[in-house]
Structure 1
Amino acid sequence: MSPALPPALKTLMPPVQTAQVNGIEMAYYEAGPKDGPAIVLCHGFPETAFSWRNQIPALAAAGYRVIAPDQRGYGLTRGPEAVADYDMAHLTGDLVGLLDHLGLEKAVFCGHDWGGFVVWQMPLTHPDRCAGVIGLNTPFLPRYPAEPISLFRQIYGPDMYIVWFQTPEEPDRVLADDVAKTMAFFMRKPAALREAGEKKEGGSSFAFAQALAAYDPATDANQFLSAEEMAVFVALFEHSGFTGGINWYRNFTRNWENGADLPTRIDHIPCLMIMAEKDAVLPPSMADKMGDHVSDLEKVLVTDSGHWTQQEQPDAVNGHIIDWMRRRFPA
């Protein structure tokens, strides 16, 4: 059963649509001319398609066909129970299925945070369906030299959130215990999120479980969303829970194993990397060596933005995307 949709979801987004895609029913939002170049916007964690509410109308007005799905396990898109059904093969397969449903041969794929990892896989796994890639905060990274969870535990400590997310059930329950508190903790201004990721008294970096336990939203002046916008995220995660999104993280090792034979470079596909100056999770320095692996690459920096770039600095993000799209994919 779908939740009662908060007013801001209806007023700030196009009407929700659904499609039978790759074994699931996917919710998505669409705007712009049907004959315009297509761009698919892929959100991260913990977000939904609603995080693109400021990009959808701007891109549509510029002549582009914009599609923003609630990805597998998020928002109004229900996900399966098996953890393995959230691996990269399924996530990229969902996007291919969405193109098939819409009758599209190709699209530009734009992804933020976890959505960025997915869209950077599209030219490696489905190059015939990928016209271009835009990474927002998330750079293209070569395959890890060793099993990634062991690396994260060694570098960041046992309580680092990605390591913690490997624990069955506990993270799901902790985040869902008070959804309003959880979303307020994550959706904060750059300095607050950076502080939450810092190592405390010899502990782990990005130990979000401990930071969330100590967090008091009543004393927090670092929110950047309006009350109406926050209400949408809270309602959607109260509906979906966090297990689907956490299951993406539980496939880090499986994705690493299955990616051993994938190409190591992206050639002949236009790519744009949009970095955020104050992102503590995905800092601009992570994109320093992208040119070694991506042949057709442009890089731009959004100043005074933390991790939630398309929501913190929507005008800057819209400007960079539209400028690049107009030069590489004229409407």
Structure 2
Amino acid sequence: MIDNGNGLSMHVLEAGFETPDRPCIVLLHGFPELAYSWRKIMGPLADAGFHVIAPDQRGYGRTTGAPASFDADLDDFAFPNLVRDVLGLVSALGYRSVASVIGHDFGSPVAAWCALIRPDVFASVVMMSAPFAGPPVFAFNTAQGDGRLARVDITASLMADAVAALASLDPPRKHYQWYYSGPQANDDMRHAPQGIAAFLRAYYHVKSADWTGNQPHPLASVTADQLALLPTYYVMHADATMPQTVAEHMPSAEAIAACPWLSDQELDVYAREYARTGFQGGLNWYRCGTDARHSAALRTWSGRTIDVPSCFIAGSSDWGVYQRPGDFEAMRVLACRDFRAAHLIEGAGHWVQQEQPRTVVSRILRFLRRDAPAI
């Protein structure tokens, strides 16, 4: 456990710590995951010469110090404070700079914000599964009435309108991020009728390449009709909980036994931790994302870009690449000034570093050795 100087005692997994003076890599997990989600790639990255650290992030697992209730102060879970968590951790471990910060799922935008806010510390960034479109921006030159030069953050506004319009579809739908932001989601999942282990098994399965229904493609526009093309684990039926949604796709006993990337023993690590802690710590992150007040606060960095070398990795069967129309393109063209590569890995869905760890390690090392500067 490491005191990160920002109110947390952080549970951290490490590899490659035996040899001093190695360059450091920080791995940031997403939801509903843990530092344990990086178990398949930490050893190979350490074998390649790095000190690899993977914390349970704020509100997750065995990291303590963050109230995980629904009435917690959401400022604690906003991106600037999550960056402070990571900065404090690497400082406590004796690093003034790290070779790369790598984030998956909700860890991806945290990694991106680390690189954007503190490029002097985070020398490169790898975003996985969730594209980063850049900070929300202020409208430009509106005082002069020059609409041609106005640059506004219309995607967020369109997304909010499209999400609201989902309720008017037949049958009515709802967006999972807004469901996760509600007061009932934690109890729904912590007390899933099928049990936490079975709930998580179905959840991990349906978002993986093992579920043949995952055939992702870019959406044409930010509208309710287009969002409704997303699988129900993203755009749910209005009257369904998440455990009910994924229960329809529970894999057979034979499929579970044959799953090469998530054994029952590995699944049990997640199930035991979430049975102990609940899900609210991670859900508070979503509440920041759907709260306009927190989005507005991020305009402090309006116009800022990620200037350190960057790349993107995802599974070719991952709908997360396209769930916010336009973000993938904005990441490559607008948000990152030194974007090196986008890798969509065959045979992987959303849990790419668990489903195809060897390929993920290969792509990370190729990026670090050939593209990112030595530090």
TM-score per shorter chain, which class?
A: 0.7 to 0.9
Instruction: Judge which range, 180-189 or 232-241, deviates more.
Output: 180-189
Indicate the residue corresponding to 2:130 in structure 1. Answer: 138
Partner of 2:121: 129
Cα distance in 1, alignment partners of residues 373 and 56 from structure 2: 25
Answer with 1 or 2: which has the greater Rg.
Answer: 2
Where does residue 104 of structure 1 map in the other structure? 95
How high is the sequence identity, in percent, across the aligned residues? 30
Separation in 2, partners of 1:150, 1:283: 16
One of 158, 179, 185 as aligned partner of 1:164: 179
Is it true that 1:212 corresponds to 2:204 in the alignment?
no
1:74 aligns with 2:60: yes
Go from structure 1 to structure 2 and tell me whether the alpha carbon gap of 1:259 and 1:218 turns closer, same or farther (over 3 Å shift): closer
The farther-off stretch of 144-153 and 184-193 is: 144-153
The normalised TM-score by structure 2 is 0.75
Alignment-derived partner of residue 295 in structure 1: 337
Alignment match of 2:360 (pick from 298, 311, 317): 317
Deviations 1:153-179 (A, max 9, x none): 2365552110112212x1000010131
Provide the rounded CA distance (Å) in 1 between the counterparts of 2:331 and 2:31. Answer: 23
CA contact (8 A) 2:185 2:241 kept: no
Check whether the contact 1:176–1:182 (CA below 8 A) recurs between aligned residues.
no
Letter in 2 for 1:185: A
Q: CA 1:231 to 1:329, structure 2 compared with 1: closer, same or farther past 3 Å?
A: farther
CA distance 1:148–1:114, change in 2 (3 Å): farther
**77-86 vs 58-67, which deviates more?**
77-86
Q: What is residue 175 of structure 1 aligned with on the other side? A: 189
Aligned to 1:13: none
**Structure 1 residue 290: deviation in Å?**
2.5
Match of 1:64 in 2: 50
Specify every segment of 5 or more residues in structure 1 that has no aligned partner in the other structure, as ranges. Answer: 1-16
Aligned length: 312
Determine the structure 2 residue equivalent to 1:268. 307
Instruction: Determine the C-alpha separation between the residues in 1 that align with 2:4 and 2:114.
Output: 20
- In structure 2, do the counterparts of structure 1 residues 130 and 155 end up closer, same or farther at CA, with 3 Å as the change threshold? farther
Find 1:154's aligned residue among 149, 164, 169: 164
Per the alignment, residue 192 of structure 1 pairs with 211
In structure 2, the partner of 1:11 is none
Deviates more, 1:53-62 or 1:154-163: 154-163
Q: CA deviation at 1:206?
A: 2.5
Alignment partner of 1:98: what SS?
Answer: helix
SS at match of 2:321: coil
CA distance in 2 between counterparts of 1:77 and 1:296 reads 33
Structure 2, unmatched stretches of 5+, are 137-152, 168-172, 217-226
* C-alpha distance in structure 1 between counterparts of 2:158 and 2:104, whole Å: 20
Match of 1:46 in 2: 32
Contact 2:316 2:344 in 1 (8 A): yes
Amino acid at match of 2:177: I
SS at match of 2:52: strand
Find the counterpart in structure 2 of residue 242 from structure 1. Answer: 279
Cα RMSD of the aligned pairs, angstroms, is: 2.8
Q: Aligned partner of 1:237: which letter?
A: Y
Q: Which residue of 2 aligns with 1:8?
A: none
Q: Secondary structure at the match of 2:299?
A: coil
Query: What letter corresponds to residue 34 of structure 2 in structure 1?
Result: T
Change (3 A) 1:34 1:147: farther
8 Å CA contact 1:276, 1:302 repeated in 2: yes
Structure 1: 4+ residue segments shifted above 6 A: 195-198
Letter in 1 for 2:84: G
**Aligned equivalents of 2:105, 2:264: Cα separation in 1:** 23
Q: Which amino acid aligns with 1:87?
A: A
**Equivalent in the alignment of 2:3:** 19
> What residue is the counterpart of 1:91 in the other structure?
82
Q: Secondary structure at the match of 2:319?
A: coil
Distance 1:134 1:240 in 2: 29
